[in-house]
């Protein structure tokens, strides 16, 4: 495993990505924000949404799918709500701004929501939900994506992987951070298997005829061309293991992001060969002290999460986790040892650096 991984000091990796964005015409503050969110995914052990996507960002900026200097426009606003048009700008800066505004509104009125339309890929949803934690709030974030998922009993993509994240603070325990796609896996995971030359596990996706898909390359091509086939909803290919529930969750996210914001939704949200689709987001923040004292809530969270960790293990396991624990531990390791990247991803970064005359980040 170690021979397949390169570690890079987190700050150096972030600075490198920021330089690439600046070289593409992105203002420095937005470049730093987008770089931080990308690297946060790798640091938390979610490489499907990390710097492996940097080349697609560069291509999106060069093609005009992503606009380097777009300024978000507030379309509607109240004491507890916000609607923003990202105007084609990068997803992370507008999302950080929208969630920050949501948290500020929640300070005043207790609960607040924001939606963003005409945006781009925003990285890991958990990054934005976690922004609420230090304010003793519960955070929620979600986005729709290009259509990559097939409905239960279907064989054509009709909705995105449509991830959602929920974050709640604890005391001594790591925060509970649920960050999940509403499909079995994300496209990034399919791409990762393709880079590694591995077959897909059965139950991840179906082909153009609705049969189990095993080859990442043909599946990715078919999804891009809308030739049939796609990733199945959370729960699997049929109703037997609850695939219809994941299907429902994916549509729910589409409603709260695309429809509610007045943006694109469903099958009309499409990627291009070189870049990602224009997408929509939704954010929420809720003050815990509306219901009980934050300190008491965190104590009870510790009791809940501790009981989950101490659940008796299955015979073939050596540990029980709760949502966010693995990621928090991965992030701590990334700070100590450097951010882990696949060798292939590191080589891609070196290629980007060479093409743009920027010094590549050294391996730790």
Round the average pLDDT of the chain to a whole number and report it: 95
Average pLDDT on 268-276 reads: 82
Task: For tokens 């948290």, name the residue.
Answer: 103
Which domain covers residue 46, as residue numbers? 2-294+324-356
- DSSP single-letter state for residue 201: P
Max CA separation in the chain (angstroms):
55
Residue 3 is predicted with a pLDDT of: 53
Alpha helices in 226-317 (DSSP H): 243-254, 260-261, 294-309
**Mean pLDDT (whole number) for 162-177:** 98
pLDDT of residue 224: 87
For range 269-279, the mean pLDDT: 84
Q: Give the whole-angstrom CA distance, residue 48 versus residue 195.
A: 11
**Partner residues linked to 180 by β-bridges:** 164
Which band of pLDDT confidence, cut at 50, 70 and 90, is reported for residue 187?
confident
Evaluate whether 102 touches 285 at the Cβ level (below 8 Å).
yes
pLDDT > 90? residue 195: no
Q: How many domains does the chain have?
A: 1
Is residue 143 one of the residues assigned to a domain? yes
Model confidence over 289-312: pLDDT tens digits? 999 999 999 999 999 999 999 999
Q: Is residue 305 part of a domain?
A: no
**Which residue from 157, 265, 240 is spatially nearest to 206, judged by alpha carbons?**
157
Q: Which two tokens stand for residue 252?
A: 């729910």
pLDDT tier for residue 1 given thresholds of 50, 70 and 90? very low
Question: Does 302 fall in a domain?
Answer: no
Smallest Cα–Cα separation from 62: which of 95, 24, 16? 24
Is residue 246 one of the residues assigned to a domain? yes
Strands 111-119 and 81-85: parallel
Tell me if 233 is assigned to some domain. Answer: yes
pLDDT at 241 over 60: yes
Instruction: Say if residue 343's pLDDT is above 80.
Output: yes
Looking at residues 23-37, what average pLDDT do you find?
98
CATH number of residue 21's parent domain: 3.30.1370.60
Share of the chain above pLDDT 90, in %: 90
Whether residue 337 is contained in a domain is answered as yes
For the cut 60, the answer to whether the pLDDT of residue 347 exceeds it is yes
Question: Between vectors from CA 236 to CA 342 and to CA 327, what angle results, nearest 5°?
Answer: 40
What's the token pair of residue 106?
């929640």
> In this predicted structure, what is the pLDDT of residue 273?
76
Q: Give a yes or no: residue 304 inside a domain.
A: no
Task: Look at residue 274 and tell me whether its pLDDT is greater than 80.
Answer: no
3-state secondary structure of 137: strand
> How far is residue 32's CA from residue 48's CA, in Å, rounded to a whole number?
20
The rounded distance, in Å, linking the Cα atoms of 290 and 110 is 7
Q: Does 317 fall in a domain?
A: no
pLDDT band at 2 (very low <50, low <70, confident <90, very high): very low
pTM of the model: 0.94
């Amino acid at each position: 495993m170690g021979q397949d991984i390169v570690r890079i000091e987190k700050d150096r990796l972030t600075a490198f990505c920021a330089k690439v964005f600046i070289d593409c015409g992105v203002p420095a503050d937005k470049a730093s924000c987008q770089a931080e969110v990308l690297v946060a995914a790798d640091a938390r052990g979610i490489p499907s949404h990390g710097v492996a996507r940097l080349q697609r960002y560069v291509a999106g900026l060069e093609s005009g799918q992503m606009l380097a200097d777009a300024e978000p426009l507030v379309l509607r606003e109240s004491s507890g709500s916000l609607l923003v048009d990202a105007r084609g700008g990068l997803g992370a800066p507008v999302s950080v701004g929208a969630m920050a505004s949501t948290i500020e509104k929640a300070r005043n009125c207790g609960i607040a929501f924001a939606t963003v339309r005409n945006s781009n890929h925003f990285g890991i949803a958990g990054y934005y939900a976690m922004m609420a934690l230090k304010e003793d709030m519960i955070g929620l974030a979600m986005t729709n994506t290009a259509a990559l998922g097939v409905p239960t009993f279907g064989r054509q993509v009709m909705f995105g992987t449509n991830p959602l994240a929920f974050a709640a603070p604890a005391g001594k325990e790591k925060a509970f951070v649920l960050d999940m796609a509403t499909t079995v896996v994300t496209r990034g995971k399919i791409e990762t298997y393709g880079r590694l030359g591995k077959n897909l596990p059965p139950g991840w996706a179906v082909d153009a005829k609705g049969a189990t898909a095993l080859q990442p390359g043909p599946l990715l091509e078919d999804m891009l061309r809308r030739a049939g086939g796609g990733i199945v909803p959370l729960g699997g290919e049929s109703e037997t293991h609850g695939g219809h529930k994941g299907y429902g969750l994916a549509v729910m996210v589409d409603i709260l992001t695309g429809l509610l914001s007045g943006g694109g939704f469903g099958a009309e949200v499409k990627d291009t060969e070189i870049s990602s689709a224009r997408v929509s987001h939704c954010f929420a923040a809720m003050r815990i002290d509306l219901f009980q004292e934050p300190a008491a809530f965190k104590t009870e969270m510790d009791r809940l999460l501790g009981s989950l960790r101490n659940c008796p293990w299955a015979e073939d396991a050596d540990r029980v986790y709760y949502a966010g624990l693995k990621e928090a531990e991965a992030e701590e390791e990334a700070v100590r040892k450097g951010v882990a990247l696949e060798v292939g991803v590191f080589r891609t970064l070196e290629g980007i650096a060479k093409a743009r005359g920027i010094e590549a980040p050294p391996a730790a």
